[in-house]
Structure 1
Amino acid sequence: MVQLDVVQACNKALVNKQTVTAVFVGGTSGIGENAVRSLASTHGTSGRGLRVYIVGRNEKAANTIIADCNKTCPPGEFKFVRANDLSSLRDVDRVCNEIVNAEEARAVGKPACIDLLVLTQAYFAFGKELEHQETSEGLEMSLCLLYYSRMRFVHQLLPLLSASPISGRVVSVFGPGRDTKLILDDLSLSKPQNFNFTTLGSHTAYMTTFFFEKMAANNLGKLSMSHYFPRLVITPAFKGRGVPGWFKVIFRVLGPLFRLISVSAKESGERVVFHTSPRFPARSSKGVAKSSPQENVSIASSSDGILGGGAYRTNWNGDVTPLTKQYEHINKDEVREMVWEHTMKVFEDITAAGYFSG
């Protein structure tokens, strides 16, 4: 476990070292909001500069967050970027273009960059409330939010992430340990009979692992990506429309117990930002860690077994989440290429025709 004081020291060292540009997708609520507030608070009045893009649908919530952040971090720049529907890859592209244009217009005479990209968009549902829903682009909606939409952000913002002086850091918040079953002939879970709570989480975990490994290998020294499990964090999602009524009753009755075993909003945000630390470097051209470890911070092993390999599966406390035993039963190199080619086909189909043809 990485102790919280070490997490806080690393985060403070970052904002004292350089101007930080960060994008928080799903940043108007929950864990994304926690991370925005944490970064602003850490920077405070003494950091070297902070620019934050908050991507979401709720402008009212964003304005409240921005007002609070302006008080705790007066030198910071906080901008809301409206998302209409992040389960639409065309809307993802529109949002990315807005961010890229804003950064390029600002960065006169020097490279535009993004140092941190945090991805938390999701539809939190289970039980009878979790249903197979196809988007207008031919993708299952929940899987799109958890996987395709997030990977599209990485893909579209890659030039700016690659230009970061600390190597661009990507944090996708979900569940790296949920990989139990992978249906190779239906990666997109387009067949309703293959879709349920288990396969949704499993496909997201498997495909994120393989996509991140491929991206790390393709962008040596430029990109570090983490699939992060935050543990139990109390957020408004517990009261959302995708949560069964019986669970809402249990949550209301046992609320104090849930809070007792949960990670606080403040710590949750700090541990998300910690993925910018030297513990999670980009993969170097030599295949080993690019940077030396900071005091009290050891370099993590990536999911493909390389120390500092650039693609990480991380637990809430900064430890590495190991691959499940199911990986022993597949050809990882072969499946990695399959996932990559499938994802690129999804992107190409929707770019060309607005619909994934399967």
Structure 2
Amino acid sequence: MKQNAITQANKAFTNEHHDGSVCVFAGGTNGIGANTLEKLVQMLRSATFYVIGGSTARFADQRATLERLNPNAKIVFFEGDVTLLSDVDTFAKTVLDAETKVDYLFMSPGRLPLAGAEYTTEGLEVSFTLSYYARMRLTANLLPRLLAAPRARVLSVLNGGKEGVFREDDLGLVDNWSSLAVMAQYTTVTTLAFDHLAAQNKTFTFLQAYPGLVRTGISNLVAPSGSGIGRRAYVAVVGRFVGMLALLFGMTPVASGERHAYHLTSSAFGPGMWRVDDQSEVAKGTEVLKYRAAGWPKRIWEFTVSVFDKI
């Protein structure tokens, strides 16, 4: 879908009345998420936005911009670490205690898993947690409020349509972690988990969207403390290569934000689970179909809940 068509669709939505919407953002403080948040603040005349991020002080300038763009927007910032499920729970409780519904849930925290495996104080691998566990935990916590909205949307910006073979015998990649393995794993299990949730909650929409190359800082990678020379060199070279590709061929963060605001609001995506490509079209990849037929959506969700229970 052409960028101009995206812009026109967003303008048409803005001219409608959507007062009282409640939006929740994880990953909304930089890059694609920040630009999606900025666009949605302009599209919704009178709405409440809950945002989780690492620093209230660093969010101050962004808050000022959002409030200038729409003085009627209510911005609620929660200082927390998205890699910790305990912080995700507390953030969700803030929303649950204050609101009777949630209309839009946007999630884009993550990083390229090239710097090696790192683990949180809760024992979960950081890259997998940012791209999968934290997003699913937030979704699960907010389900009662999403169900209360007339047309709720859940959007995970990741790799829609890029699903592939995953490790069935090690779903959490406890013993088989690698950069390629973790990207394949969290991509496919996200779609399958959303498949399960969509089957259980038929009134609203789940989307996994692939943003394509975007000129953000996601490629500014640093190897973990204590890494050897080889690991540090590998991370630096790959990060710069990805950054160069994005600079040469990627879309701007503003254009990407417009697209994801469209995904959240467009009537093109009705209730159910949708995989969306970087052109805002329904993704054509079929690898995931065999897992759906084999009953993996329910098994993936049961595994995910078991991880939550352990934590």
Report the CA distance between 1:213 and its aligned residue.
1.0
Unpaired segments ≥5 residues, structure 2: 224-233
Q: Which residue of 2 aligns with 1:311?
A: 273
Counterpart of 1:179 in 2: which secondary structure?
coil
Determine if the alignment matches structure 1 residue 10 to structure 2 residue 1: no
Report the CA distance between 1:248 and its aligned residue.
5.0
In 2, Cα distance between the equivalents of 1:55 and 1:331?
32
Q: Which amino acid aligns with 1:6?
A: A
Higher relative contact order (CA 8 A, sep 6+): 2
Give per-residue Cα distances to partners, 1:92-117, cap 9 Å, x unaligned. Answer: 111101122232xxxxxxxx211111
Give per-residue Cα distances to partners, 1:65-88, cap 9 Å, x unaligned. Answer: 1101111111111121111x2222
In 2, Cα distance between the equivalents of 1:324 and 1:197?
23
Determine if the alignment matches structure 1 residue 246 to structure 2 residue 237: yes
Q: Which residue of 2 aligns with 1:279?
A: 268
In 2, Cα distance between the equivalents of 1:326 and 1:214?
13
TM-score (norm. length: structure 2)? 0.88
Aligned pairs for 1:19-30 within 5 A: 19=19, 20-30=21-31
TM-score (norm. length: structure 1)? 0.77
In 2, Cα distance between the equivalents of 1:320 and 1:124?
24
Determine if the alignment matches structure 1 residue 86 to structure 2 residue 71: no
C-alpha distance 201-324 of structure 1, shift in aligned 2 (>3 A): farther
Q: Which residue of 2 aligns with 1:269?
A: 257
Q: Which amino acid aligns with 1:185?
A: D
Could you list the structure 1 runs, at least 4 aligned residues long, displaced by more than 6 angstroms after superposition. Answer: none
C-alpha distance 205-251 of structure 1, shift in aligned 2 (>3 A): closer
Q: Which residue of 1 aligns with 2:116?
A: 130
In 1, Cα distance between the equivalents of 2:157 and 2:171?
20
Q: Which residue of 2 aligns with 1:35?
A: 36
Report the CA distance between 1:270 and its aligned residue.
1.0
Determine if the alignment matches structure 1 residue 332 to structure 2 residue 275: no
C-alpha distance 75-91 of structure 1, shift in aligned 2 (>3 A): same
Q: Which residue of 1 aligns with 2:170?
A: 186
C-alpha distance 70-156 of structure 1, shift in aligned 2 (>3 A): same
Identity of aligned residues (%): 29
Counterpart of 2:295 in 1: which secondary structure?
helix
**Are the equivalent residues in 2 in contact too, given 1:179–1:201 (CA < 8 A)?**
no
Report the CA distance between 1:269 and its aligned residue.
0.7
Report the CA distance between 1:322 and its aligned residue.
2.3
**Are the equivalent residues in 2 in contact too, given 1:29–1:61 (CA < 8 A)?**
no
**Are the equivalent residues in 1 in contact too, given 2:166–2:188 (CA < 8 A)?**
yes
In 2, Cα distance between the equivalents of 1:42 and 1:5?
16
Q: Figure out how many residues of one structure are paired with residues of the other and give that number.
A: 298
Give per-residue Cα distances to partners, 1:125-173, cap 9 Å, x unaligned. Answer: 41xx222x333333222112111110111100111111222x2111111
Q: Which residue of 1 aligns with 2:199?
A: 217
Give 1:236's match in structure 2, choosing from 192, 207, 217: 217
C-alpha distance 10-158 of structure 1, shift in aligned 2 (>3 A): farther
Determine if the alignment matches structure 1 residue 196 to structure 2 residue 178: yes
**Are the equivalent residues in 2 in contact too, given 1:41–1:72 (CA < 8 A)?**
yes
**Are the equivalent residues in 2 in contact too, given 1:314–1:321 (CA < 8 A)?**
yes
Give 1:177's match in structure 2, choosing from 155, 161, 173: 161
In 1, Cα distance between the equivalents of 2:169 and 2:136?
20
In 1, Cα distance between the equivalents of 2:131 and 2:96?
22
In 1, Cα distance between the equivalents of 2:253 and 2:121?
35
In 1, Cα distance between the equivalents of 2:127 and 2:106?
18
In 2, Cα distance between the equivalents of 1:42 and 1:331?
36
Report the CA distance between 1:331 and its aligned residue.
6.2
In 2, Cα distance between the equivalents of 1:159 and 1:177?
28
In 1, Cα distance between the equivalents of 2:57 and 2:240?
28
In 1, Cα distance between the equivalents of 2:13 and 2:303?
36
Give per-residue Cα distances to partners, 1:233-277, cap 9 Å, x unaligned. Answer: 11122224258222455577x5xx743411112111111111221
Determine if the alignment matches structure 1 residue 113 to structure 2 residue 101: yes
Give per-residue Cα distances to partners, 1:288-325, cap 9 Å, x unaligned. Answer: xxxxxxxxxxxxxxxxxxxxxx1011012211112344
Counterpart of 1:51 in 2: which secondary structure?
strand
**Are the equivalent residues in 2 in contact too, given 1:119–1:173 (CA < 8 A)?**
yes
Give per-residue Cα distances to partners, 1:38-59, cap 9 Å, x unaligned. Answer: 112334xxx3x12111211032
Q: Which residue of 2 aligns with 1:207?
A: 189
In 2, Cα distance between the equivalents of 1:273 and 1:23?
13
Determine if the alignment matches structure 1 residue 344 to structure 2 residue 308: no
Unpaired segments ≥5 residues, structure 1: 104-111, 283-309, 351-358
Q: Which residue of 2 aligns with 1:62?
A: 59
In 1, Cα distance between the equivalents of 2:178 and 2:67?
42
